[in-house]
Chains A and B, each alone.
Chain A
Amino acid sequence: DAGVIQSPRHEVTEMGQEVTLRCKPISGHNSLFWYRQTMMRGLELLIYFNNNVPIDDSGMPEDRFSAKMPNASFSTLKIQPSEPRDSAVYFCASSLGGWDTQYFGPGTRLTVL
């Protein structure tokens, strides 16, 4: 298995632009997680899906952030409009179910100028 796949690996954009991050979980995994990592705040959970349904989105910073999982093999995290404080590394992870062992992707490094 190729593991969790994220794209793009790096994204540089200007403030106000829309950003879409993509994730393909490991085949057969039922749960998907989006995390954000910054030096100041460390690694924090943004949203968690189980069987394509959002279960916990309490970590989503504000309405500018939205996440979807249209099917079991694809999820997106969208930021519109983006702001410089959104600059971070965004990780996607998947697991067989729930909070069991999670497998992380390589991350997307987002820079908002």
Chain B
Amino acid sequence: EVQLVETGGGLIQPGGSLRLSCEVSGFSVSANYMSWVRQAPGKGPEWVSVIYSGTTTYYAESVKGRFTISRDNSKNTLHLQMNSLRVEDTAVYYCARGPYSGGWYGLDLWGQGTLVTVSS
């Protein structure tokens, strides 16, 4: 069964750090582009980051220099290390497969999301 399960969200103070994980089953994270997308309360989705071809990564300008995407191929898991968190980083964070997975198919599989709340 194909599944993406995010963990690691929670309440954190501004300036703090969190590490999100996305455990994948049913396909290999190393063989696909893997993205993080977030959605602030009442807003539309915002793409955050992508990793592919082992070490190639891209980030949204809003998180560049603060967030780091990585993957553990042995555990088939995607991570997002989030440092220097701001109130405006408050959102549900989703991991998703894509936009390339054997073809340019968009973000075709999503996890259920994990909520990150940045507040003092």
A-B complex is real: no
Please give the residue numbers on chain A whose beta carbons come within 8 Å of chain B beta carbons, in ascending order.
Answer: none
